[in-house]
Structure formats: C-alpha cells, structure tokens
Structure 1
Amino acid sequence: MTTLHIAIIGAGMAGVTCARTLRQAGHKVTIFEKSRGLGGRMATRSSAFGSFDHGAQYFTVRDQRFELAIGTASGVCKPWSANAVRVLDPNGRVIEAGLPGGERHWVATPRMNDLVKFWGKPLVLDGNVLLQTRVMQLMPDRLKIGGWQLQAETEGGGQQVFAGFDQVILAIPPAQASILLKASGLGELAQPLTNVRMDPCWTLMLAYPQAVQPGLITLGPQWNAARSTHHRIAWMARESSKPGRERIERWTVQASAPWSAEHVNDTPERITGKLLKAFAEITGIRATPSHVDVHRWLFAKTAQPLGPSYLWSKEQGIGMCGDWCLGHRVEDAFISGLELALAVLQKR
C-alpha cells in the first residue's frame, strides 16, 4: 500500500473523524486548525466559575457506526438528564414537555470538546496537529507531481508554506471552504456549496455563584434545558446540571437564528443587554450574574444542507466534509468525516 500524506483543514468533529480513520488505515495525516484547540463547534469556554458548552449543547446517537465509535471513548460520554426538556412560550410557560420516543441526550465529560480531543490525541502525539494556523491558499506542490502545498498564516501573523501533500480535505464551514477554493483558483469545486446555508447564532453565558450557597440549590425554573419560542431566544441550558460539571449555577443561552441574523453585526455589549432581558422574561431570574460572556457563531446551524454526505474530487485530490453536508447534528459531522475517509480509501 502506498502511504499518502493528507492535509485536513479543520479540527472539529468531521475533520478529526476523517483524520483518525485515515490514520488508522496507515496514512500520514496533518491537521491545520485556526483556533487554539480541537473541537470546532463542540466547544467549551472556561471561566472562574466553571465551564460553558457554548457551541453544541449535546448530541444524539442514532447511527450504529457512531454508537460503536462512542464505545471506544469509554468514560468520556455520559447521558444528560435533559430528556425533560421543555418548550416554552415567550413568557416562560410550558407548551410541551419531553422528547419524542424518549431519545437520550449525551454530552462529553468533563467538557463537550473532550470527545474530539480524545479521538484526536494520537494525532497530537504524532506531532501532526498545527493549531493557530490558518490556511490561506492551496497551490500545486513544486516538487511532488499532482501534489499540494499550503500557504498558511501562523500564530503571530507569520506566513509559512507546508508542502508534500497528496490530498487535501476541507472540514470547515461551506462559506469558508468556498473562499479558500476561490483564492486557490479552484472555484469550480466550490460550485456545489452555493445552495448550502448556515445560520449564525449569538450565545450568552451566565454564572450565579450565589446559587451554591447553603439553602439555595438553583435559581429560577427547576428544569435543566428548554427550547423557547421567544423571538430572541431559541435554547437555554443549565450547565451545572450536566454530568461531570462544576456545581456553580451557570446558564448557556442561544439566540434564535432569525434574531441572530438580524443582529449579527451588533456589538457584544448590545447583544448582552438584549439577551439578558429576554432571559429574565422567560426564566424569572432577575439576579445580577457574577459572570457574563457572549460569543458569536457566524456558522452555527445548517439551515439548508448539501444532501450528499461529502464532496470528493479524485482528479484534484480534494474533498470536503462537515455536518452541513447532511444536517446540523454532531452525528452528521461524524458520518460526513467517516464516509469521506472511506471514499478516499476506496477510490484512490
């Protein structure tokens, strides 16, 4: 078997799943990630009062392949008692309770990004994960016929060229993939991405350390998670209810897609004020939080998926994967990365 050297851009669920599958098949894989760690939207932000899963809040397990893979991460994934999730009207009144079929919610512990980090650890130990490295352009390799080299911006704003790749896989949002392909003179490969649409999301993080004082367990409602029909807020979750988390009362509040799109360019201060007001209206929690943070996801949730589980050009040696191919679930990202890796192995 000829050993290939494959570059994967993006270290979220899809990218790491693809990378680990190709590595297990005997190929060399190098991951490029613009952020400071692995996880993508399976993200966790730390604070002095505990952590916040400010990206994906949970995942479901429906595909047998995903179930088997989860089994390899013993102790990392645990069920979260959010099965009593409510659907609330704008005033916080319960419209519905429970989930169809009693489907379980799962989380990685002690942080949501720990599942991706667990699967990516062998690649990190190989020395083949380059963090804070943003790939700006793909170019034909000067020495390897039919190969690729990558021009990247590294930490501190420096420029570096990484060469010697047989294939390149883009495990990033479609808008970012399209920009990179067009900058590389490969605009024709971006054409299938034009109909894919991903909505933005503003996320608010709140901590109330007074809620762990003696005699006071929680503030406000006694449920752990809720979907909301309030025009500003789509989802709320009590982070301290998740297994393996810190006890201090913490909430993650995710704004609705239409409201986030309307206010996508607002300042963080303006967003914080508006979401705090809506949170108080829904939950009745009017205490001043000791910690407030906000994060904007420009590409948060797939509104219009691609359809196929991946894109692969054997001729160019370039592929694309992500949850956006199939939907918006963590499981969709896993399936996309896995099936692209299998296509690379079968069709090369």
Structure 2
Amino acid sequence: MTTTQRAPRHFAVIGAGMAGIACARTLVQAGHQVTVFEKSRSTSGRMATRSSAFGSFDHGAQYFTARDPRFLQALETTPTLCKRWSANSVQVLDELGHVAGPGLSNHDAHWVAVPGMKSLVNGWAAPLEAGGHIELQTRVNRIEADALLAKKWQLRTEGLDGTQHVFSGFDGVLLAIPSAQAQSLLQTSEQEKPWVKQLDQVKVAPCWTLMLAFPQAMQPGLSALGPQWNAARSTHHRIAWLARESSKPKREPIERWTIQASPAWSQEHIHDDASRAEAKLLKAFSEVTGIRAEPAHVDSQRWLYAKTVQPLGKSHLWDAKKGLGVCGDWCLGHRVEDAFVSGLELALAVV
C-alpha cells in the first residue's frame, strides 16, 4: 500500500517568540512532534510584558495589525486574547513635541493582546507547554549530527545554571531567533555556510525602551498628566514612539508610559548603562510630552535586535535535504504579523 502522507517527524524549534510558536503549533496541527527551546524564562519573545507594582508595560511590541487572512484566521481561534486599541489617537510629533501631522491612518485596525502583549503568544504556546514540549531557560549552543542515529540531529544546550545537556533524535532543526543569533549559531555549528552569507545582509537596529509610572495622576479630578493623545510617533532625535499604557484595553488604570528610543540613538548609546540611558530618555520624554512630574517608577529594557532595517526579502529559509530551516520577523520586516507569516510559511514548507 502506498500513501502520500509522510510519517510523523520530530522537529526542534529554537526560539519561543511569535515566529517560533507559530511554526511549532502549525507543525503539531499537521501531526508532527516538536520540542521548543527558549533561553528565557518564558515564551513570547519581543511580544513581551513586564509587571510592576503600578501595572504592566508592553516593553516590546506595542500593538499589531492583521492584513494576512491566515493571521486573521489564527486570531479568530482565540478571540478573548485580543482587543482593538483606539489608534485613531496616534499622532505624529515634531522634534519639539508639537503635532506635526494628522493621526495615523485607520485603514489597519490596531490590536493589542490582553491583558498584556505577551498573552497572545503565551496563549498559543500553552498547549505545547502543558504537554512538556517547551524547554525554557535552555540556550542552544550547537547543532550537530546525532551521535547515534543516522540522518538525525542533536542539540547541545546550556541551562541558566550552567548545566549542559544533549537533546537528540530530531528530523529537523528550525531556528526562530534574531538573524544575528541564527548566523552565529550556524557558524558555530559549521552548518549552512551559504545561509550565513545571506543573513549577513540582514540589518536589525537595537532599541532602548523606557517605562514610567505616575500614580499621582490618579488624584481626584485629574484624569491624566500631559497630552490628551495616547500614542505618538516622534521625530525627536532620542524618541521614536510613546504610548500611554493605561489607555489600552484591559489594562490597569494607573498612568503609565512606554517610550521607545529611535534606532539611531539606541545604536549610538547601545553600551550605556541603564541609569544613564533612563536619564537621557526621561529628559526627552519631558520635552515631548510636557510632563515634568517625577515618576514613581522607572525601568528600562535594551533590545539588541528590535527593528528590521534591511530584511532578508523572503519569508524563510529551508533546506529539505538537510532538515534545517530559519524564520523570524526579520525575514519580511519588523511587524508582529511578519513574524507569524514567516513561522507559518516555514512550517508549511516543512510539511
């Protein structure tokens, strides 16, 4: 008896952000087994949310749009995880913080995950995690041929505590990590040298992110500090984006702001310590918003790989003969949807 259906295979997916989880869940839906490896303590990647005593901050992706019908279909499977954010309040500001143009187009609905941006990826990853298919706090240091099984792969990993482990028996290895990290891992593992050259063409800018809380805005008769808009793109040399976190649906009411530095400024100050970067961005925040009050909470995050400047130009890389693949938002751009499409199309190529 013959069949066109291939036997179930076991794939390692490195990275548990949007691209990695989109890839992994698609493979599982197609009947395959996956093990996801993530160096951090949780899934979500740059769709991240950080908690504080004053409420949460979406310190990675701020919102997402949905144009691809496959992304829309995926979102419809978990409708409680997403809400529309009234982005008609988004302004474009000049260097001095003055409105320089009309709000951004409402052609694309602006969505956020609830109660935090991490909720969408975490929700999709939950069945994988419950089934024991996600290895958190596990950094993959090397990809190599399986020592015992022909035509299989094994991964050498390291935990946060320094413990070493080998995971083996994989039919394929799929990298869903930033391009520079994928390039480094492939080089270290002496795999796919042509891909290393392709990945060298990808350019991704860093981003310093500042998080501020102003509980004094909760005083009777005072609904908000500073401007009446809730989000803005800025041409200020230090700041590219500002958003009032408390304006997003299903968020805590205490006034909180997330500020993302411009790619050029972030690159220039990539090696600053956190306190120095925070002080400079706080000064710029005051200049743009007019908010001079002292925040009760100040925090920051330095993203080394944040916004794609030069994408790969294709949704993924896949070598069916070797069983190696690469995906990520940087393949197509920097949007959340780009990450989803990249992970999905790699999985579809695999199956």
Stretches (4+) displaced over 3 A = none
Tell me what 1:278 maps to: 284
Where does structure 1 lack aligned partners over 5 or more consecutive residues?
none
* Number of residue pairs matched by the alignment: 345
Residues 307 and 160 from structure 1, CA distance in 2 versus in 1: closer, same or farther, beyond 3 angstroms? same
Where does structure 2 lack aligned partners over 5 or more consecutive residues?
1-5
Is 1:50 aligned with 2:55?
yes
Partner Cα separation in structure 1 for residue 223 and residue 14 of structure 2: 44
Q: Output aligned runs, 1:100-115, within 5 Å.
A: 100-115=105-120
Q: Output aligned runs, 1:126-145, within 5 Å.
A: 126-145=131-150
Tell me what 1:287 maps to: 293
SS class of match (2:26): helix
Tell me what 1:153 maps to: 158
Letter in 2 for 1:303: V
**Which of 30, 44, 56 is residue 25 of structure 1 equivalent to?**
30
Q: Output aligned runs, 1:24-103, within 5 Å.
A: 24-103=29-108
Residues 203 and 65 from structure 1, CA distance in 2 versus in 1: closer, same or farther, beyond 3 angstroms? same
Tell me what 1:322 maps to: 328
SS class of match (2:240): strand
**Which of 201, 207, 213 is residue 207 of structure 2 equivalent to?**
201
| 8 Å Cα contact 2:38/2:138 also seen in 1 | yes
Is 1:117 aligned with 2:122?
yes
Letter in 1 for 2:190: G
| 8 Å Cα contact 1:197/1:302 also seen in 2 | yes
Moved more, 149-158 or 16-25: 149-158
Tell me what 1:298 maps to: 304
| 8 Å Cα contact 1:88/1:229 also seen in 2 | yes
Tell me what 1:236 maps to: 242
Q: CA deviation at 1:158?
A: 0.8
**Which of 210, 216, 234 is residue 216 of structure 2 equivalent to?**
210
Partner Cα separation in structure 2 for residue 61 and residue 98 of structure 1: 19
Partner Cα separation in structure 2 for residue 125 and residue 101 of structure 1: 38
SS class of match (2:45): coil
| 8 Å Cα contact 1:83/1:103 also seen in 2 | no
Q: CA deviation at 1:84?
A: 2.1
| 8 Å Cα contact 2:87/2:104 also seen in 1 | no
Tell me what 1:336 maps to: 342
| 8 Å Cα contact 2:92/2:104 also seen in 1 | no
Partner Cα separation in structure 2 for residue 90 and residue 191 of structure 1: 38
Q: Output aligned runs, 1:176-187, within 5 Å.
A: 176-187=181-192
Tell me what 2:254 maps to: 248
Moved more, 47-56 or 184-193: 184-193
SS class of match (2:87): coil
| 8 Å Cα contact 2:88/2:106 also seen in 1 | no
| 8 Å Cα contact 2:87/2:106 also seen in 1 | no
Q: CA deviation at 1:187?
A: 5.0
Letter in 1 for 2:154: Q
Q: Output aligned runs, 1:212-227, within 5 Å.
A: 212-227=218-233
Letter in 2 for 1:207: A
Q: CA deviation at 1:170?
A: 0.2
Letter in 2 for 1:166: D
RMSD between superposed Cα atoms in Å: 0.9
Q: Output aligned runs, 1:253-268, within 5 Å.
A: 253-268=259-274
| 8 Å Cα contact 2:210/2:281 also seen in 1 | yes
Tell me what 2:3 maps to: none
| 8 Å Cα contact 1:83/1:102 also seen in 2 | no
Give TM-score, length-normalised by structure 1: 0.98
SS class of match (2:205): strand
Letter in 2 for 1:227: R
| 8 Å Cα contact 1:209/1:248 also seen in 2 | yes
Listed one character per residue, the Cα deviations across residues 295-342 of structure 1 (whole Å, up to 9, x for unaligned) are 100000100000110000112100000000000100000000000000
Give TM-score, length-normalised by structure 2: 0.97
Overall identity of the aligned pairs, in %: 63
Q: CA deviation at 1:75?
A: 1.1
Letter in 2 for 1:277: K
Moved more, 15-24 or 147-156: 147-156
Q: CA deviation at 1:101?
A: 4.7
Partner Cα separation in structure 2 for residue 57 and residue 140 of structure 1: 40
Partner Cα separation in structure 1 for residue 321 and residue 8 of structure 2: 18
